[in-house]
Amino acid sequence: MATITSLAPAGGTTMGTRQWKACPVLFSNTIDFAAALAAKGSALASSDVIEAIRFPAGVLLLGAGIQTIAVDDATTLTLDLGITGGDVDGFVDGYDQAAAAAGDYATSLFDTSEIHTIMTTADSIDVLFATLTGTLTVGKIRVWALVVDITGELEPGLAQVGA
């Protein structure tokens, strides 16, 4: 099993500088399997993990999912989406990426253990290759997450830093 971290956006977190306070925001990251192959430096395999979206502590994850952007060339490929070290398939369990068409969404969303997850430490939402047979060299998915900042840093009466 390899963890590929270089595909998450540069600068640490995709969450930005928290200028999106007090409302749900949709974050997404397109994962290119050709780029993952190059980053790993060897064949992609079952149990590999791709870090998709990083986020800081103090956020509420309302949900997350996968959309197929471009079809892949694997014989079989099923994907899980969750938090490595926690519930690895908490958001998506067993999405059949190999059978998906461009534009399809994972339908196995929202394992009840992950709905409305409060992140108390910085972490990431990760894609796990639950099964992979054949050679995976092409294809793209978009991982999305609906997130709310719950730190309370901009509650009424508090000074707004940088305002």
Tokens coding 30: 């397109």
Q: Write down the pLDDT at residue 19.
A: 53
pLDDT at 68: 98
Domain 25-149 has CATH 2.60.120: yes
* Concatenated DSSP letters of 118-133: EESS-EEEEEEEEEEE
Q: Return the pLDDT at 158.
A: 44
CA dihedral 105, 111, 114, 116 (to 10 degrees): 80
pLDDT for 120 equals: 87
> So what's the pLDDT on residue 1?
59
Q: Which residues contact 136 (CB under 8 A, 6 or more apart)?
A: 33, 37, 43, 44, 72, 73, 74, 77
pTM (2 decimals)? 0.81
Domain ranges for the chain, please list them. 25-149
Task: Check residue 34 and give its pLDDT.
Answer: 97
Full pLDDT tens readout for the chain, 163 residues = 567 776 665 444 444 444 555 688 999 999 999 999 999 999 999 999 999 999 889 998 888 999 999 999 999 999 999 988 788 888 999 999 999 999 999 976 555 555 678 888 899 999 999 999 999 999 999 999 999 988 876 555 444 433 3
pLDDT score, position 27: 92
Closest CA to 14 of 78, 49, 48, 61: 61
The strand pairing partners of 54, in sequence order, are 124
